[in-house]
Structure 1
Amino acid sequence: MASAAKMHFSPEGIGVPLTPAVITPTPRIAIVVASIRRAEEIGQLLSHLAVQTLPPFSIILSVEQPSDLPPGLPPDINVVMGPKGLTQQRNRGLELALSMSDLIVFFDDDFIPVSDALEGMARLFALAPDIVAATGLVLRDGVKRGGISYNEALETVRAYEEQRVKAQPAKVEHTGELYGCNMVFRSAAIGACRFDETLPLYGWQEDVDFTGQIMKKGSTVRTNAFAGVHRGVNKGRTQGTALGYSQIINPIYLVRKGTMRPVKALILVTKNFLANHIRLLRPEPFIDRIGRCRGNWRGIFDLLCRRCNPENVLTLH
């Protein structure tokens, strides 16, 4: 990859890279999408991957069953099937991607990237050999507002592409937390790192755990070199009680594992516990606050009984 240009980080952690005219050699970019029950969303994402200014070398869909796939899937799309669970599905896609890529991208199935997202990733990694992982700019995130429609996401992406100044240097800052909806890794740095399959179902905080593993290999950054909209579609997500349980147990488990800082875990657990209980008074129609509170207390009970195992969420009824 190009190495003539350098990435410089200011004391505040903001980088101002020079932009090369040509990316040489062109990296092989593999995209992994783990999904269940979202065939429509996969189809919409694929339509945006088809018009990238730098085409992906391969696209891997990791699903549970054929009904998870959109009709008329192009023959060059790779499909891997197996039991559901975000960490398991991502690992199956990762195993396939490692043998055919220089960069591995994980997109959520409801993420809509800008048209030059992959090109931005390629430039970033060409400019900075020390960067091993990056997460991009999320223009809008529908997770906390019940989701964003496809048309809304499309309008946001188009407006961003029209208004931004492409010649403007990208900003880069160090981070210990990549956002799982859009993150990219240097394949050579992954090695034995895998998503922790002890985190079942939606794998809450699996992105932070993976970041904690790979940041030992080099710099992990947040950047506006690539961008998109995370729609936050509710369909297919972990339900209230299970998520509430994971909100308590998973951070403590990751602290003990060494991939999450204790202060981060304390803030995360406290924030979610308080939010769930305060908003019981006026719960959002798209969030099961009662279920989350029930799960929170079950998690606390298990901690008091010294049962800190994320997989116990599978026994909840």
Structure 2
Amino acid sequence: MKFTLIVCTYKRPHALGNLLASVKLQTVYPDEILIVDGSPDDATQRMLEANPMVHLTYYKVDESNRGLTKQRNYGIARVAPSSEVVCFLDDDTVLKPNYFEAVITAFQSNEKITGVGGVAVNENQWVPINPSKKYKRNEFFTLEGFVVKEALRNKIRNDLGLQSNLLPGKMPDYSHGRTCGYPLTGKNYEVDLLIGMSMSFRKKVVDSISFSKYFEGYGLYEDADFSIRALQFGSNVICTQAQLEHHHDPAGRPNQYHYGKMVVRNGWYVWRVKYPYPSFSARWKWHAITLLLTAIRATNIITTSKKKEAFTETLGRVVGWCSLFWDRPKI
């Protein structure tokens, strides 16, 4: 299958260089690589000129096309007509050598699969179950011979009966699902949500829908919105053989106040894309969990060294939640 890689970047020449170095080592190489750069400087362009790659085309966009959502749509519009799959990667990822081979194999395994996501192995916390160890039900989550320790927010949700009974990546009718990912079993797992750092779609999907203008700017959860709307074309899967590392580069990210607002407002938006008319019970649970997560984040003002960041993000979440009562996002 012919496929195109699109990488949108902003002021991260070093991180992008690490990603492209891993692309060079792939067992299956992209037929086309599109770099869409929104940086106001030319550092990224100079890095690419010093490290030329086969099949790579560089686009420098102006301010009117800057931002992850706009840059992704800009890249999609320039994909070769012969491509059958379009792959998106964050510029701060590094691929294992068989990443693209695993992605293409997943698509070829079932024509109903139209979206494929990978696994960040440096963030994957699943371990094999130890038969001699007892795991408390509310503190650990088990799946197919593997176990992962529940984060504090999940422990509390378990205790309060607010936890999703669906597998990771599936969105319940109150939206707040499990986010622990999947163990490295080598299998594909059907999900609703793919993560923007590592997601690929058949070209018929990106030819039919685009990334929503609502998320123009930083675009938190634009990947969730897109992958939910992509379900109309088939199924999304997490391919645990498509492995990479995700090194969160702080460059180009918004301040914590705006991030906190987006967590709530954009989270509400994505929820209503999937469930336009939720029940009263689902609405109650969404708000209860949103406030619970805000309260947990507020405790970081005391428990972590980054007190200012914790305070401003908490404030942003509170303001974002309150704003839903007089200025809801329009779907």
Shorter-chain TM-score tier: 0.7 to 0.9
After superposition, residues 125-204 of structure 1 pair within 5 angstroms as 125-141=107-123, 170-204=186-220
Letter aligned with residue 174 of structure 1: E
Question: What percent of counterpart residues are identical?
Answer: 21
Could you say what the CA RMSD is over the residues aligned between the two structures, in angstroms?
2.7
Which residue number corresponds to residue 148 of structure 2?
none
Which residue number corresponds to residue 108 of structure 1?
90
Task: Find 1:278's aligned residue among 291, 299, 322.
Answer: 299
Contact 1:34 1:62 survives alignment (8 Å): yes
Letter aligned with residue 245 of structure 2: V
Q: Deviation of residue 303 (structure 1)?
A: 1.5
Letter aligned with residue 140 of structure 1: N
Distance 2:4 2:70 in 1: 18
Distance 1:282 1:100 in 2: 53
Which residue number corresponds to residue 74 of structure 1?
52
Q: Deviation of residue 300 (structure 1)?
A: 2.4
Q: Deviation of residue 117 (structure 1)?
A: 0.6
Contact 1:208 1:259 survives alignment (8 Å): no
Task: Find 1:120's aligned residue among 85, 89, 102.
Answer: 102
Which residue number corresponds to residue 210 of structure 1?
226
Distance 1:92 1:132 in 2: 21
Matched, 1:226 2:205: no
Contact 1:102 1:186 survives alignment (8 Å): yes
Distance 1:259 1:271 in 2: 21
Q: Deviation of residue 170 (structure 1)?
A: 3.3
Query: Any gaps of 5 or more consecutive residues in structure 1?
Result: 1-26, 143-167, 311-317
Distance 2:44 2:286 in 1: 34
Task: Find 1:246's aligned residue among 262, 265, 271.
Answer: 262
Matched, 1:88 2:70: yes
Letter aligned with residue 57 of structure 1: D
> After alignment, is 295-304 or 112-121 more displaced?
295-304
Q: Deviation of residue 261 (structure 1)?
A: 9.4
Q: Deviation of residue 173 (structure 1)?
A: 1.1
Q: 1:124 to 1:197 in 2, by over 3 A?
A: same
Distance 2:245 2:307 in 1: 19
Runs of 4+ more than 6 Å apart: none
Distance 1:37 1:208 in 2: 24
TM-score (norm 1): 0.74
Matched, 1:269 2:247: no
Corresponding residue SS for 1:78 = strand
Letter aligned with residue 134 of structure 1: V
> After alignment, is 55-64 or 95-104 more displaced?
95-104
* Equivalent residues, number: 259
Q: Deviation of residue 287 (structure 1)?
A: 8.0
Contact 1:247 1:269 survives alignment (8 Å): no
Matched, 1:291 2:312: yes
Matched, 1:36 2:10: yes
Distance 2:82 2:288 in 1: 39
Q: 1:250 to 1:98 in 2, by over 3 A?
A: farther
Q: 1:230 to 1:217 in 2, by over 3 A?
A: same
Q: 1:69 to 1:95 in 2, by over 3 A?
A: same
Q: Deviation of residue 54 (structure 1)?
A: 0.7
Which residue number corresponds to residue 63 of structure 1?
37
Query: Any gaps of 5 or more consecutive residues in structure 2?
Result: 125-183
TM-score (norm 2): 0.71
Letter aligned with residue 41 of structure 1: A
Contact 1:42 1:69 survives alignment (8 Å): no
